[in-house]
Homo-oligomer: A and B are copies of this chain.
Amino acid sequence: MVQGLSADSSSYSFTPLVVLELASDTKQEATAWLLSRIRDRQQNGGAELLVEQLGPGAGAQEKENPNMFLVGATWQRLLTGAEDVGLFKEFNDGSMRGFTCANKHNFKDFKGYGDSFLSMAECQYIIKHELDTLRAKDETHVPGHTQAKLYPGKSIIRRLQSKGILIQVFPLHDKEELKRLSFSWYKKVKFSFQPLDDIRHYYGEGQALYFGFLEYFTFALVPMALIGVPYYLFDWEDYDKYVVFAVFNLVWCTVILELWKRCSTSLAYIWGTLSRKKAFEEPRPGFHGVLGFNPVTGREEPLYPNTKRQLRIYLVSLPFVLLCIYLSLYVMMIYFLMEGWALSVHDEEPTFWTGILLFIPSVIYAVVIEIMNLVYRYVAEFLTEWENHRLESSYQNHLVLKVLVFNFFNCFASLFYIAFVMQDMVLLRQSLATLLITSQILNQVMEAFLPYWLQRRRNKKMMRNVQKRRAVEDVELALAEQVRLEADMSMYLGTFDDYLELFLLFGYVSLFSCVYPLAAVLVVLNNITEVYSDAFKMCHVFKRPFSDPAANIGVWQLAFEAMSVIAVVTNCSLIGMSSQVKAYFPDSELQLILWTVAIEHGLLAFKFILTFLIPDVPKHIQINLARLEFESLEALKKKKMLEASELSERMQ
């Protein structure tokens, strides 16, 4: 795989894997210093990587950035890098073990020099890691850029990024493999599973887990969809049976989320990310503070007191989020007022124009919701940045939490209002269907077709430029074109929005499943197209992302579980409120409510017990992990015994 590109670019003595783009106004001495540090040997504190400047492309005459560098590495260097990042690979005995150069020949797929032992994504991940951990020695600033301060141990790449000298670092696509992958993934119409292993091979574990979850979620919804259809077709108003349907839904939601944990553990085990130890996390580029000594590493780095951050979170961010939620609820109330007003106008004197007037509040509300979501997203990013989190992971968690809570209110508040304040089931069903269908259509357009169209236009312009100037095609130029083309592609911003979309869809299915059993069917249909559009987007619209060695879907698991708890509450209340159930308790509404509450508590308790009863890690993986641990303990013991007997022999 690693050799894939170098075949096209025979004039290069190395395989380009990663592109570094420096700002065009970077000082010559800074560039030279950076390159020398990257090329320097590891003993001298360098990264020991190969790096070359990219030749001018076909459009060289124009204002093209000349500061593009291609980074690669020798095969040997990649192997030591694989050990550094703690890559897990399949051992000869079928178990997954941390790769070490010392016993590389005992790993299953290791065959010698330049084979497919490391995937291109892994090589790129290794190079990124090595670049990120390239540290300043005794430089006080970047040569030629006195404003870019350095101190011993500071990551050079992060400082260059935070000062805007390094514009971007991105891994290159592998045209051949991409073609193969996209063919097996979405170009042929088929009823098979997604090629998850190939996706992981090309994009890394984080992406593959997202697509795995998307597929799993789709299949898991199929039983709900199948049961929902007859309910929709035959017993539209028969709530006794809805009780059965809703209970099934609740249990099913819990079970699928628990089973997903097992699935994701299995995948992470096979992919070697389950037992992989996280390397010590570097501070994120935007993190700032007073220079001090990190208590863990003892290295000099900026420190920011945790209490200050907590104050910012609880005194600024939290009130702001609450205010936004209040605003969102306020807007919702205005919408209902407008709707009521439009309805009264139409009822008084129904004309064609008042008929149109009926739709206007919904349209305005939908537009306002979208605008609020967008604005809120920006402010949430700003606030989370301002909270000054030391780690990227904690930044992400706080951002996800903020966005999640607001989106939940923004999207579901009107449904809750209709269901529990207005108690209008017909309107609830209508609104649910409308929201679900329009959000699906909007998403598909915004997510795939729009970027695709933009990308296509850009490509065409570029191609025209190329063809205008040169008809001759040589290999080096092809590479240069590819790099410049990819540098212009949009940046893939992670799986955040994709998961958020799935989360909201899951909400539509689970929260109000008992009034609109067709929701699962719609979501299944949406997910099937989502697989294709996401796959297409990944392959053709965005820059290739660096792979991310995830072992699970992280905070999203928690979010989905929280949603399924809320679903128990809403479904129980909906059932309790239905007139059909009320008919069972003709004399006292009190009895009805007490029963509803009791059943709800029972279901919640059952849910938690179920969560405990289903083990998160499948038995065979538990055994494998236990065996590895046992073997390492035994090996240690044997080593000690040997040392002891050697000692005693020497003493005799």
Interface set of A (CB-CB < 8 Å, partner B): 42-43, 80, 83-84, 101, 277, 279-280, 295-298, 306, 569, 589-590, 593-594, 597, 601, 619, 623, 626-627, 629-630, 633, 637, 640-641, 644-645
Using Cβ atoms and an 8 Å threshold, which residues of chain B touch A641? 42-43
Is the CB–CB distance between A630 and B296 below 8 Å? yes
Is the CB–CB distance between B594 and A280 below 8 Å? no
Is the CB–CB distance between B601 and A569 below 8 Å? yes
Give A623's nearest chain B residue, CB to CB: B295
Using Cβ atoms and an 8 Å threshold, which residues of chain B touch A633? 277, 279-280
Q: How far is the CA of A295 from the CA of B623 in the complex (A)?
A: 7
How many Å from the CB of A111 to the closest CB on chain B? 22
Q: How far is the CA of A590 from the CA of B590 in the complex (A)?
A: 6
Q: How far is the CA of A277 from the CA of B637 in the complex (A)?
A: 14
Q: How far is the CA of A298 from the CA of B631 in the complex (A)?
A: 10
Give A43's nearest chain B residue, CB to CB: B645
Is the CB–CB distance between A640 and B593 below 8 Å? no
How many Å from the CB of A611 to the closest CB on chain B? 13
Q: How far is the CA of A297 from the CA of B628 in the complex (A)?
A: 9
Is the CB–CB distance between B296 and A626 below 8 Å? yes
Q: How far is the CA of A280 from the CA of B637 in the complex (A)?
A: 13
Using Cβ atoms and an 8 Å threshold, which residues of chain B touch A42? 641, 644
- Indicate whether A627 sits within 8 Å of B593 (C-beta atoms), given known contacts A279-B633, A306-B619: no
Is the CB–CB distance between A297 and B593 below 8 Å? no
Q: How far is the CA of A279 from the CA of B597 in the complex (A)?
A: 46
- Indicate whether A296 sits within 8 Å of B627 (C-beta atoms), given known contacts A43-B645, A637-B84: yes
Using Cβ atoms and an 8 Å threshold, which residues of chain B touch A298? 627
Q: How far is the CA of A590 from the CA of B588 in the complex (A)?
A: 10
- Indicate whether A627 sits within 8 Å of B295 (C-beta atoms), given known contacts A80-B644, A594-B593, A633-B279: yes
Using Cβ atoms and an 8 Å threshold, which residues of chain B touch A277? 629, 633
Give A592's nearest chain B residue, CB to CB: B590
Using Cβ atoms and an 8 Å threshold, which residues of chain B touch A597? 593, 597
Known: A296-B627, A593-B597; 15 extra A-B contacts, CB below 8 A, are A42-B641, A43-B641, A80-B640, A83-B640, A277-B633, A279-B633, A280-B633, A295-B623, A295-B627, A296-B626, A298-B627, A590-B590, A590-B593, A593-B593, A597-B597
Is the CB–CB distance between B630 and A297 below 8 Å? yes
How many Å from the CB of A415 to the closest CB on chain B? 18
Q: How far is the CA of A619 from the CA of B306 in the complex (A)?
A: 10
How many Å from the CB of A557 to the closest CB on chain B? 14
Q: How far is the CA of A641 from the CA of B44 in the complex (A)?
A: 11
Using Cβ atoms and an 8 Å threshold, which residues of chain B touch A295? 623, 627
Q: How far is the CA of A570 from the CA of B564 in the complex (A)?
A: 24
Give A648's nearest chain B residue, CB to CB: B43
Using Cβ atoms and an 8 Å threshold, which residues of chain B touch A569? 601
Using Cβ atoms and an 8 Å threshold, which residues of chain B touch A297? 627, 630
Give A569's nearest chain B residue, CB to CB: B601
Give A306's nearest chain B residue, CB to CB: B619
How many Å from the CB of A234 to the closest CB on chain B? 33
Q: How far is the CA of A493 from the CA of B441 in the complex (A)?
A: 66
Cross-chain pairs A/B with CB under 8 angstroms, 29 sampled: A42-B641, A43-B641, A43-B645, A80-B640, A80-B644, A83-B640, A84-B637, A101-B640, A277-B629, A277-B633, A279-B633, A280-B626, A280-B629, A280-B630, A280-B633, A295-B623, A296-B623, A296-B626, A297-B627, A297-B630, A298-B627, A306-B619, A569-B601, A589-B590, A590-B590, A593-B593, A593-B594, A593-B597, A597-B597
Give A600's nearest chain B residue, CB to CB: B597
Q: How far is the CA of A172 from the CA of B293 in the complex (A)?
A: 49
Using Cβ atoms and an 8 Å threshold, which residues of chain B touch A645? 43
How many Å from the CB of A389 to the closest CB on chain B? 15
Using Cβ atoms and an 8 Å threshold, which residues of chain B touch A280? 626, 629-630, 633
How many Å from the CB of A572 to the closest CB on chain B? 10
Those 3 A-B pairs whose CB atoms lie nearest each other, nearest first: A296-B626, A296-B627, A295-B623
How many Å from the CB of A421 to the closest CB on chain B? 12
Q: How far is the CA of A11 from the CA of B42 in the complex (A)?
A: 64
Of the listed residues A279, A296, A298, the one surrounded by the most CB atoms of chain B closer than 10 A to its CB is A296
Using Cβ atoms and an 8 Å threshold, which residues of chain B touch A637? 84
Q: How far is the CA of A223 from the CA of B96 in the complex (A)?
A: 53
How many Å from the CB of A537 to the closest CB on chain B? 34
Using Cβ atoms and an 8 Å threshold, which residues of chain B touch A619? 306
Give A295's nearest chain B residue, CB to CB: B623
How many Å from the CB of A245 to the closest CB on chain B? 23
Q: How far is the CA of A279 from the CA of B306 in the complex (A)?
A: 37
Using Cβ atoms and an 8 Å threshold, which residues of chain B touch A306? 619
Give A281's nearest chain B residue, CB to CB: B626
How many Å from the CB of A307 to the closest CB on chain B? 11
Give A642's nearest chain B residue, CB to CB: B43
How many Å from the CB of A340 to the closest CB on chain B? 24
Give A597's nearest chain B residue, CB to CB: B597
Using Cβ atoms and an 8 Å threshold, which residues of chain B touch A279? 633
Using Cβ atoms and an 8 Å threshold, which residues of chain B touch A83? 640
Give A620's nearest chain B residue, CB to CB: B295
Give A634's nearest chain B residue, CB to CB: B297
How many Å from the CB of A153 to the closest CB on chain B? 12
Q: How far is the CA of A594 from the CA of B589 in the complex (A)?
A: 12
Using Cβ atoms and an 8 Å threshold, which residues of chain B touch A640? 80, 83, 101
Q: How far is the CA of A645 from the CA of B644 in the complex (A)?
A: 30
Q: How far is the CA of A601 from the CA of B630 in the complex (A)?
A: 45
Q: How far is the CA of A640 from the CA of B597 in the complex (A)?
A: 62
How many Å from the CB of A43 to the closest CB on chain B? 5
